[in-house]
Structure 1
């Protein structure tokens, strides 16, 4: 998670999407810096040069260049962008699913246990009364638990107003829309605890509905399912 004073992005544990988005971000920044430097160079040369063509009406070659070059740059950016969109929306064959439902101002998680009974966990922001170390405004009384190295499907919805289910370390941000069910894939490759918050202004207590998902190995997760909902 992001710590106080950090100057870099959060560590991501959704390796396939994380590496791809990070590479795409650096690639876009490289192109943007190149364009800005090129424009600044030409502005400097034009303003400091004594050779100015005030009577120049048009130049077909130059017009072709500044039309085709931006098209090529946009086309090159379009290819990895479409690939990332596909990876972020391709569900595949999920082995397990859970549903996150936004409320004012808490989250509920719905899933089925090994007995095929529906389990509903209500997750409220923790009041930090215990002596156990917890993050202020980020920890909850009941964490959602999910397995690692397992293709999952996350269903997101809302019962009242528009919310947003966001886990930055998982490269996950999806709107919770009342009356609509949205879904996204999730495949985590290492254990850990991910913290997030509602990322859509949803009322007076918008900043007090954190999201915590703990990713654990499959054998531990199956034991957790045995005792959950009993």
Structure 2
């Protein structure tokens, strides 16, 4: 693709239109320099001269990948918190997975992962600030906490489901974030005896297990 061109035109606007066609770019991607202003001449005809313009395509800045942004954001946060940990980032489809390794990092998990969820939320905001059109999601984990929590939730869900199936009494579980509610819904979606649904609004939204009539 051509980076620049010099052309003659009666007006600056006309020069821009010509340049956009020839360079095959958008107006916000070009810079225009007036080499010589057009002259109208006598009576607007005799001695009139077109202007001379140089149009150049702007150099695009090297944009950081979302994975790099996520890693830098969390690494800076860990440094500011004086937490010694390693940050690993990989992208799987439209999901950016961030794994934080290090015993010191465990203090950032919080009660039921609340602090971890806040870190994940802020990381997502950092990505959206750079690229508002990004459709990528972020999943942040510390010392494999989410996998352990998932197994614990599945056990909890199955135990609660057996209780509901036996007593036929509806059971409301503890407040959970959307990620945890999805785990429970998924664990019980094919259960023969119970159904699940959510009620309330975040952060006080909870999952309900009800006997299947």
TM over 0.5: no
- TM-score, normalization by structure 1: 0.19
- TM-score, normalization by structure 2: 0.20
Larger radius of gyration: 2
> Greater relative contact order: 1 or 2 (C-alpha under 8 angstroms, separation 6 or more)?
1
